[in-house]
């Protein structure tokens, strides 16, 4: 028996294949194994093997080990539909590869835009003869790191059943849209294994055992091909009946086509792109002109050039450290990443070697940076290209410091829409944020460092717009509608007027419908670091502070003093805006290692939220004491996971003993709380609906289950009826009702909630501009009529279509 180590073929998050959001893989129809959610687009060989099969669309590869074990690596889910777009195979059938050899490279951004998921299953397709063992799951792994072993050998018990009796033959047509790729091949094999007969598929001169998904894929059968099936054995006829029915039925792929992201054909004055941050901006086009970065080829003596280079690097280092210390979020993190490049020992050594050959300090640094980037420069992987951009960025900063030149000498008018081929992070950081209201780049991707910084600044941004962007004349009036992915050149007067209204609605202030009804937009916060972004997005306060940020990712819990200090800092930053502090909601999908939960077969239905006092009364007692000591007029307390009025009364008694007069509300996130909303409204100061948990408990679907996650939709009419019931109970009792779940962060979700009568919505900060724009597009009366109709529907999909029609179908909704 052999034992072969398996290396991670991708860098990313390691999970069991049973957690893949696709039943073919999760139910192990294809075989047992693992899955990796990748962080780069390079697939390498996990072990020494022979290439058995490369998919014609280059999205998957099957390897055969010396022991006979067969490994299928399937990049992403439903990626066969891309027909090879974004993939490049570097091996062919029959090649021999060693561990670490490059198999496939893929463009992560391009694939992610069209595929169901990037998660990549790695499965043992002939598991009957082998055993797969794996290192611990749910962790980040490096490409090439050992993650498990395959044990067994070619003499292990496996194989086809014995052929007995006369052969039975049938013909069928392949109706799978993309032929017999991995998913249908797995279904065919799974179906064949349910019978004792030996079934063979034949197309032309190729044959395959129906029990082998790899052999079935190797037929390279396409949609519309005729296949002959033959079976021998006691249940031959029954097995063929089942397989023919499977082939005739084909496969239903539940995937939104890319075209629906921008279904309307573009007009002659429109340029399409990829949204990096939604929003609308009307302004004047200005092309980015990068300053010259020429460094002299030859230098003075080596010591002088080394000293000059060191001084320039010190100057850049000082500026980056300043950015890292003063900025928040992505800008700080990217500055830290650039500091690591600036201090990279190999880069510095390469530059020193060039200086020794007579180069100037600036040219030496350029050559060293270019050499480091050469391996990535022509890659199809955008993540690697972004690494090149970072190296280029640092190179330009150092050369500019050597030359004493300013990074940017352009003048910017107010309401500038900046157009560029690409924009480096350091360049964006130097631009006047108060004058640039929109960004559009011909290259780049939505996950580039530039796009991330632009998003953190709240600047609507389009990327990957292509060469037509360069044809836009300087000074032209343009409308950047990043929400729908279009730049409109010289829009007409009506479009300009609507754009001004929507853009002004997105940047802050009161959120008002077309017929004058006011909606208060609050922010969901996960700590002090989120406050700046929330206020920049126009949040009118905090509707949900998740206090778990103080308890997670640490070895011991926070003291009451630490808690009080953290809550006070957030209250001070928001003052005089309201702050709603949710008490600790742990357990279920948010375990804390230093808190000993009782053994629970189903933690999602266990001691979550307010129920933690059942096994740890000190925990909730310390948190209530810390909150009670926070100064601020707008501080409120909110209890999660309540299901009985008795829980509310118990906490109210403890709070009153600490400090009287604190506003106390409950989260309605269980069907019990919704059904008892009238009783809660009689005693609570406010009700806040948690749409995420309310949806999972109403639909009886665990939101952490990848097979069900896509089906959990808070716009399901059953969930909406419970929301409507809660709103009505609050109205009758004169108590405010808000919603702080993910549904408030969706523009169409916000319109449905408005129609149901909710006027306080708490969303993630980045979503506030788009939600504010959606509210400005519609009238409250139209929302009410739409919500009434939604309550009578049968599915969430119908509700979504109805709300989308209201948002996009009216004349007021079209910006162009």
Query: Catalytic residue positions?
Result: 449, 740
Contacts with 662 (C-beta within 8 Å, 6 or more apart), sequence order: 627, 628, 635, 636, 637, 655
Q: How far apart are CA 600 and CA 673, in angstroms?
A: 22
Q: How far apart are CA 62 and CA 122, in angstroms?
A: 9
Relative to beta strand 416-420, strand 280-287 is parallel
DSSP 780-799: HHHHHHHHHHHTT-S-HHHH
Residue ranges in 575-638 assigned as alpha helix (H): 617-628
Q: How far apart are CA 626 and CA 565, in angstroms?
A: 8
Residue 465 tokens read as 């717009």
CA 686, 689, 693 angle in degrees (round to 5)?
A: 145
What value does the CA radius of gyration of the chain take, rounded to a whole number of Å? 30
Q: How far apart are CA 515 and CA 669, in angstroms?
A: 31
Q: How far apart are CA 104 and CA 44, in angstroms?
A: 7
Q: How far apart are CA 123 and CA 24, in angstroms?
A: 11
User: How many residues in the chain?
Assistant: 816
8 Å CB contact between 338 and 352 = no
DSSP 371-424: HHHHHHHT-S-HHHHHHHHHHHHHHHHHHHHHHT--S------TTEEEEES---
763: closest CA among 537, 473, 439, 487? 537
Residue 237, phi then psi, degrees to nearest 5: -65, -40
Q: How far apart are CA 598 and CA 608, in angstroms?
A: 11
**Residue 194 burial class via C-beta count within 10 angstroms: exposed 0-12, middle 13-18, buried 19 and up:** exposed
Using the structure block, give the residue that is written with the tokens 């049968």.
794
Cα separations (Å) of 591 from 466, 551, 588?
Answer: 46, 10, 6
Residue 650, phi then psi, degrees to nearest 5: -65, -45
């Amino acid at each position: 028996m052999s034992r072969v180590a398996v290396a991670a073929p991708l860098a990313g998050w390691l999970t069991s294949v049973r957690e893949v959001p696709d039943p073919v893989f999760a139910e192990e129809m294809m075989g047992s194994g693992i899955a990796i959610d990748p962080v780069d687009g390079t697939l390498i060989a996990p072990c020494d093997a022979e290439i058995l099969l490369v998919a014609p669309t280059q999205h998957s590869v099957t390897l055969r080990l010396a022991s006979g074990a067969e490994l299928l690596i399937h990049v992403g889910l439903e990626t066969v539909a891309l027909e090879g777009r974004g993939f490049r195979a570097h091996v062919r059938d029959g090649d021999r590869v060693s561990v670490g050899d490059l198999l496939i490279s893929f463009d992560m951004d391009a694939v992610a835009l069209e595929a169901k998921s990037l998660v990549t299953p790695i499965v043992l397709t002939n598991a009957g003869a082998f055993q797969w063992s794996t290192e611990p799951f749910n962790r980040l792994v490096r490409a090439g790191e050992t993650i498990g072993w395959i044990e067994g050998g070619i003499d292990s018990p496996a194989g086809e059943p014995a052929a007995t009796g006369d052969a039975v033959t049938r013909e069928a047509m392949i109706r799978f849209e993309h032929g017999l790729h991995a998913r249908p091949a797995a279904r065919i094999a799974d179906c064949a294994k349910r019978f004792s007969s030996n079934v063979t598929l034949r197309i032309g001169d190729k044959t395959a055992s129906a029990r082998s998904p790899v052999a079935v894929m190797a037929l390279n059968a396409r949609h519309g091909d005729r296949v002959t099936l033959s079976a021998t054995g006691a249940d031959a006829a029954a097995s063929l009946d089942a397989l023919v029915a499977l082939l005739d039925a084909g496969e239903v792929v539940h995937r939104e086509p890319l075209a629906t992201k921008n279904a309307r054909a573009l007009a002659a004055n429109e340029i399409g792109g990829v949204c990096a941050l939604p929003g609308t901006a009307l302004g004047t086009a200005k092309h980015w002109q990068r300053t010259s970065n020429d460094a002299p080829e030859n230098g003075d003596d080596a010591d002088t050039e080394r000293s000059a280079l060191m001084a320039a690097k010190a100057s850049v280092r000082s500026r980056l450290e300043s950015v890292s210390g003063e900025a928040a979020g992505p800008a700080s993190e990217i500055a830290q990443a650039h500091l690591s490049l600036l201090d990279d020992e190999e880069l510095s050594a390469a530059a020193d070697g060039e200086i020794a050959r007579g180069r100037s300090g600036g040219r030496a640094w350029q050559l060293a940076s270019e050499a480091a980037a050469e391996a990535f420069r022509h890659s199809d992987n955008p993540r690697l290209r972004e690494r090149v951009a970072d190296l280029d960025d640092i190179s330009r900063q150092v050369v500019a410091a050597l030359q004493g030149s300013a990074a940017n000498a352009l003048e910017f008018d107010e309401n500038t829409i900046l157009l560029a081929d690409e924009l480096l992070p350091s360049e964006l950081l130097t631009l006047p944020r108060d004058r640039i209201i929109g960004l559009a780049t011909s290259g780049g991707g939505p996950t580039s460092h530039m796009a991330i910084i632009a998003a953190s600044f709240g600047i609507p941004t389009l990327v990957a717009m292509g060469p037509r962007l360069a044809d836009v004349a300087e000074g032209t009036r343009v409308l950047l509608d990043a929400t729908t992915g279009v730049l409109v050149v010289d829009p007409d007067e009506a479009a300009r007027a609507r754009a001004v209204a929507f853009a002004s609605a997105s940047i802050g202030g009161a959120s008002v419908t077309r017929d004058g009804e006011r909606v208060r937009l609050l922010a969901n916060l996960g700590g002090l670091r989120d406050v700046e972004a929330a206020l920049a997005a126009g949040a009118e306060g905090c509707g949900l502070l998740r206090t778990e940020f103080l308890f997670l990712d640490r070895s011991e819990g926070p003291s009451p003093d630490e808690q009080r200090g953290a809550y006070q800092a957030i209250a001070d930053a928001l003052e005089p805006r309201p702050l709603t502090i949710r008490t600790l909601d742990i357990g279920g999908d948010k375990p804390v290692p230093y808190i000993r939960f009782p053994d629970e077969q189903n933690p999602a239905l266990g001691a979550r939220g307010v129920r933690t006092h059942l096994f740890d009364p000190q925990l909730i007692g310390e948190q209530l004491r810390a909150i009670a000591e926070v100064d601020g007029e707008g501080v409120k307390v909110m209890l999660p996971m309540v299901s009985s009025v008795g829980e509310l009364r118990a906490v109210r008694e403890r709070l009153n003993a600490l400090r009287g007069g604190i506003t106390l509300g409950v989260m309605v996130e269980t069907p019990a709380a919704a059904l008892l909303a009238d009783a809660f409204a009689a005693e609570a100061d406010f009700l806040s609906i948690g749409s995420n948990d309310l949806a999972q408990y109403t639909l009886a679907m665990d939101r952490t289950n990848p097979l069900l996650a896509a089906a959990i939709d808070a716009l399901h009419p059953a969930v909406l009826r419970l929301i409507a019931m809660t709103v009505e109970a609050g109205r009758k009792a004169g108590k405010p009702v808000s919603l702080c779940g993910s549904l408030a962060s969706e523009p169409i979700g916000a319109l449905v909630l408005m129609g149901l009568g909710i006027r306080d919505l708490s969303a993630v900060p980045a979503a506030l501009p788009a939600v504010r724009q959606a509210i400005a597009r519609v009238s409250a009366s139209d929302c009410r009529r739409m919500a009434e109709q939604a309550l009578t529907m049968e599915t969430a999909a119908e509700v979504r279509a109805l709300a989308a029609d209201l948002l996009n179908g009216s004349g007021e909704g079209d910006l162009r």
